[in-house]
Amino acid sequence: MTRKPSAFPINADEEVRAEAMPAGSRTRTDEPRQRKPRAASVDLVAVAVPAEIDVFDEPDLVAAEPPPAAAPRKRSLLGRILVGAVGVLVSLAMGLWIDGLIRDLFARTPWLGWVAAAAAAIAVIALLVILGREFLAISRLAEVEKLQRRGLDAIARDDPKAARAVVEELSAFVASKPETAAGRRALAGLSGDIIDGGNLVRLAEVEILSLLDARAKVMILDAAKRVSLVTAVSPRALVDIAYVVFEAGRLIRRLSELYGGRPGTLGFFRLARGVLAHLAITGSIALGDSFVQQIVGHGLAARLSAKLGEGVVNGMMTARIGIAAMETARPLPFSALKRPGMGDFLSALTSFASRKDGGKDTNG
């Protein structure tokens, strides 16, 4: 027996289709099937165990901005008392020795005593002048640290009054630099129109310090090139280390003088200590895997000889010290302007080493 043809809409649901079909043509598959309840074993349940170190939660150290340099730790009161007491004892001992020497010379020959007394007076006057210059240099370095802290505070609080005070101190601090004259004039004409404290400090950074930053980068690159060249031609590793230390010390002093610090002997040691403290904080980030990746990415292993490769590495270490010295000697922290990185010097230093290596191969 054949089923008569029947028509039903295409978009009808299953119930309409079932009603349209004859009862005899329905099968068990057309009826809705229901799953029987069943129990799941606890042993078969997958449990997600979190990893000890999640790479997605870890910060990207290569792209991360290095933390600011920590403020210098103040010496304890007992340490200052100890240093002061020892200094007084040494001064008394030197005074007694000079006094005894002058008395002995007077007893032997009066004119020798007068010569010794005059020499002692000249030495004391020269020592006082040197100490005065050293204290002035240390005070200027302390003023740089004070300007950095006040600049950060003015940007963080967006205080117009504090920002104007910072800008005035910055203009007075770099007044002896002719490179900042145009920026100081432009800033003096615009300072009254800016009401945001943070923007005023950033504008002062751009107008006053941009030219000094450009000169500082040139100094750092030149020092890195000199270290790279000396390392390539020096016969001993001790010579490399000695020249790197010498060039780094000269670079620190020149950068401080560029930004108006003018450090003396004692001030230089204080500045060098600040640079080393800055390197201790940011060196692990700046000289980590990214530094190795940049060197490998530029193909130094394939293009340069072993000595020139060592020269590039020493040059980059000198550049890193220069960047730390630049941040330490700079009157304002980097905010509006981009902080220089290792990649800013690696390309120029690599091309410089490649030209030297090519010239050596040609001559050979």
Please report, for residues 62, 217, 218, the alpha-carbon distance to residue 340 in angstroms, rounded to integers and kept in the order given. 14, 8, 12
Q: Would you give the DSSP letter of residue 11?
A: T
Tokens 């967006």, residue located = 158
Phi, psi of 357 (to 5 degrees): -65, -40
The DSSP annotation for 125-154 comes to: HHHHHHHHHHHHHHHHHHHHHHHHHHHHHH
Q: pLDDT at position 93, please? A: 92
CA distances from 22 to 3, 6, 18, 25 (A): 8, 10, 8, 6
Please give the single-letter amino acid code of residue 120: A
Distance CA 142, CA 74 (A): 12
Using pLDDT thresholds of 50, 70 and 90, give the confidence band for residue 115: very high
Q: Are 182 and 219 in contact (CB under 8 A)?
A: no
To the nearest whole number, what is the mean pLDDT of the chain?
Answer: 75
**Which of 99-103, 233-237, 254-258, 302-306 has the lowest average pLDDT?**
302-306
Q: Please write the tens of the pLDDT for every residue from 236-272.
A: 778 888 888 899 889 988 988 888 887 877 778 888 8
Q: How far apart are CA 143 and CA 170, in angstroms?
A: 10
pTM, full prediction: 0.66
Q: Which amino acid is at 172?
A: A
Q: Identify residue 15 by its one-letter amino acid code.
A: E
Which one has a higher pLDDT value, 31 or 223? Answer: 223
Tell me the per-residue pLDDT of 282-291, one tens digit each, with 9 for 90 and over. Answer: 554 444 444 5
